[in-house]
Chains A and B, each alone.
Chain A
């Protein structure tokens, strides 16, 4: 009998080409994703250093980060991005790397389009020069982000040196109450164990709440693993996953589909496998969440109050809270609900999928965006956009006064001329409320799509449960 293994170890072991001691391994990369911010420069540097792409057929690219998402956009809509786009096209074509270009089916935010196309699959090792590559763990892939040098190493060798991380299992148990979404569960978790809680770990999300969750919600959960400090987050593939993957354009077909599913069924943690750390979260006790500060761990329930640094004993923490409140323009002890807002941003690789847009649209339906609030809906991919339009979601948003835009990262990172102005306050469905993330001086409150839509309607941070009735 083999010793019991975790989901993570099973996939890791499958990819080890050479063991270098000290826990360091040379791993095979099954899927390498490139995007507009790293493709041109990495491929150029690769060439200049005298190397070629080893496996272009295992590599795919799409522009997302720097795009304008303005309706009717062209290559020139964000002039600062035009060269990167051109470079992306010429370099990928020279290396024989497939490109999902703007306004084509399949194009989108890399972590939205890849699972959607079946480009990433259960059990595969996927990397990308982007920290939210942990998202692909939602379909049972082992995904993590790389820096530029590692990207070039993968291009040249289709491999990567990695040290085997410690392992943590986080179980969510029970049925969440009304108005509570996967985003709320994961924000609550980050608030509970902190943004460094997962450092050095690969995290497996498990438990009855996760088993009952559709794949798109699982992708949201895994997307925020890196905000726990864990560069890997994953969920064992199951029947829900197989149904999601089946029939996608790049999913295995015919006899290979059966072979793949037989293998994927072995990818769950064995009963007695050991973890370095285990955490359990009672999902029935979680309320809708919203952040108040400048780190995803600065999060409270929507009916909570902003913390008071004066009551905190740890001096570093006290200083950090005071600095965050100052940046956010909030007063200690104020109830977070009722805080007036200027912007709402619905989209990103966290919450830019069809179910997210449906949730937001169900709140927006037959209501109006508050005066003086600007609200954007940015689909995560071209396919999400097309599907949403086929259901009439775009009409619901537009009728309510939201702007319906083209797919891309947009105001999630504000590297595309799309920013929240200094001092203004936004409720965003993204994953980072860092200082300046949505633009210098911008104030970001992270929340679920339904909570973001509710805030747009009410003009202030609002308890979705009071609006839904």
Chain B
């Protein structure tokens, strides 16, 4: 898995609430487009018009945000389907971090598997960050750079403001070190076997199949 330690990049605001994973990647793209090529299909319904041309009005198509790597999002970001390619698509579009007041629970878990950092902050703080990330939409050089520091769990905005955040111990360690989770778990193989042995006495029907 890709490590996440300290990242500096352009922040883009997209405060629309309840952005679901169907919007992040449509089902048929997830089936037919291989991992690694999903970037152009992220936010497809909003990024392109029905004729396939780019919609210049969509905020992430605006010049300052085309190279954004940090998304400042609305409530319940990534709700809906469990599809992990939603995270892949976002990551392949260039994003490394999403900041939102809340996330879809499954999407939140999926982020950690792809080295994407999901940060939960109070809605008022998120909207302040979004305001700071706003800029002249026509000017490609007007974008604002934020630094996301997972080591110290702090966001530093372009204006130098520091906002702390918190990621759970084990999840933070896995991101910092880019740990392979299965390897980690297999060191507990004896505990797993022991659990199943005892459990089969308590609940034999579970193993009768």
B31 near A157: Cβ-Cβ < 8 Å: no
B80 near A432: Cβ-Cβ < 8 Å: yes
Measured between beta carbons, the chain B residues less than 8 angstroms from A21 are: 169-170
Of B55-63, B144-152, B186-194, the one contacting chain A is: B186-194
Given contacts A22-B170, A26-B188, 20 further A-B contacts (CB under 8 A): A18-B188, A24-B170, A26-B185, A66-B31, A80-B31, A84-B31, A131-B82, A147-B87, A149-B113, A161-B170, A195-B18, A226-B106, A229-B102, A252-B205, A260-B205, A263-B202, A263-B203, A317-B17, A432-B22, A434-B22
Measured between beta carbons, the chain A residues less than 8 angstroms from B26 are: 436, 440
A324–B101 Cα distance when bound, in Å, is 22
Of B71-79, B133-141, B153-161, the one contacting chain A is: B71-79
Nearest residue (CB) in A for B180 is A49
> Known contacts A22-B169, A28-B195, A145-B106: does B182 contact A320 (CB below 8 Å)?
no
A316 near B45: Cβ-Cβ < 8 Å: no
Does B177 sit within 8 A of A, measured CB to CB? Answer: no
A229–B81 Cα distance when bound, in Å, is 11
Does A448 sit within 8 A of B, measured CB to CB? Answer: no
A196–B120 Cα distance when bound, in Å, is 14
Measured between beta carbons, the chain A residues less than 8 angstroms from B75 are: 196
A26–B184 Cα distance when bound, in Å, is 11
Nearest residue (CB) in B for A144 is B106
Query: From residue 70 to 124 of chain A, which have CB atoms closer than 8 A to chain B?
Result: 80, 84, 121, 123-124
B209 near A28: Cβ-Cβ < 8 Å: no
Measured between beta carbons, the chain A residues less than 8 angstroms from B191 are: 17-18
B27 near A30: Cβ-Cβ < 8 Å: no
Interface 0/1 of A247-264, CB less than 8 Å to B? 000101000110110010
Query: From residue 61 to 107 of chain B, which have CB atoms closer than 8 A to chain A?
Result: 74-76, 79-85, 87, 102-107
Does A37 sit within 8 A of B, measured CB to CB? Answer: yes
A24–B181 Cα distance when bound, in Å, is 14
Residues of B in contact with A, size category? 35 or more
Query: Chain B contact residues: over half helix, strand or loop, or mixed?
Result: helix
A133–B105 Cα distance when bound, in Å, is 13
Query: From residue 129 to 168 of chain A, which have CB atoms closer than 8 A to chain B?
Result: 129-131, 133, 144-150, 152-153, 156-159, 161, 163, 165
B84 near A80: Cβ-Cβ < 8 Å: no
A28 near B196: Cβ-Cβ < 8 Å: yes
Q: Among A51, A161, A256, A432, which residue has its beta carbon within 8 angstroms of that of B205?
A: A256
Interface centre among B30, B102, B181 (most CB of A within 10 A): B181
Measured between beta carbons, the chain B residues less than 8 angstroms from A80 are: 28, 31-32
Nearest residue (CB) in A for B188 is A18
Measured between beta carbons, the chain B residues less than 8 angstroms from A413 are: 27
Does B8 sit within 8 A of A, measured CB to CB? Answer: no
Chain A residues with a Cβ under 8 A of chain B: 17-18, 20-24, 26, 28, 30, 37, 49, 51, 54, 57-58, 65-66, 80, 84, 121, 123-124, 129-131, 133, 144-150, 152-153, 156-159, 161, 163, 165, 195-196, 199-200, 226, 229-231, 250, 252, 256-257, 259-260, 263, 295, 297, 316-317, 319-320, 413-415, 422, 432, 434-437, 440-441
Measured between beta carbons, the chain A residues less than 8 angstroms from B188 are: 17-18, 26, 159
A200 near B105: Cβ-Cβ < 8 Å: yes
B31 near A316: Cβ-Cβ < 8 Å: no
Interchain Cβ contacts under 8 Å between A and B, 22 examples = A121-B205, A129-B82, A147-B87, A148-B83, A148-B84, A148-B85, A149-B84, A153-B185, A159-B192, A161-B181, A195-B18, A196-B75, A196-B102, A226-B80, A252-B208, A263-B202, A295-B20, A415-B31, A432-B20, A434-B20, A436-B23, A437-B22
A147 near B113: Cβ-Cβ < 8 Å: yes
Nearest residue (CB) in B for A149 is B113
A147 near B105: Cβ-Cβ < 8 Å: no
Query: Chain A contact residues: over half helix, strand or loop, or mixed?
Result: loop
Nearest residue (CB) in B for A260 is B205
A297–B79 Cα distance when bound, in Å, is 13
Measured between beta carbons, the chain B residues less than 8 angstroms from A199 are: 76, 102-105
B106 near A147: Cβ-Cβ < 8 Å: yes
Q: Among A20, A147, A165, A422, which residue has its beta carbon within 8 angstroms of that of B83?
A: A147
Measured between beta carbons, the chain A residues less than 8 angstroms from B195 are: 17, 28
Does B54 sit within 8 A of A, measured CB to CB? Answer: no
A331–B172 Cα distance when bound, in Å, is 47
B182 near A51: Cβ-Cβ < 8 Å: yes
Nearest CB of chain A from residue B71's CB, rounded to whole Å? 16
B170 near A20: Cβ-Cβ < 8 Å: yes
A129–B106 Cα distance when bound, in Å, is 10
> Known contacts A22-B169, A57-B209: does B27 contact A49 (CB below 8 Å)?
no
Nearest CB of chain A from residue B93's CB, rounded to whole Å? 18
Nearest residue (CB) in A for B186 is A157
A161–B16 Cα distance when bound, in Å, is 31
> Known contacts A22-B170, A149-B84, A199-B105: does B113 contact A316 (CB below 8 Å)?
no
A310–B110 Cα distance when bound, in Å, is 37
> Known contacts A22-B170, A199-B104, A436-B45: does B80 contact A30 (CB below 8 Å)?
no
Q: Among A22, A28, A163, A229, which residue has its beta carbon within 8 angstroms of that of B104?
A: A229
Nearest CB of chain B from residue A148's CB, rounded to whole Å? 4
Nearest residue (CB) in A for B184 is A161
Interface 0/1 of B4-23, CB less than 8 Å to A? 00000000000111101011
> Known contacts A28-B199, A159-B185, A319-B16: does B110 contact A149 (CB below 8 Å)?
yes
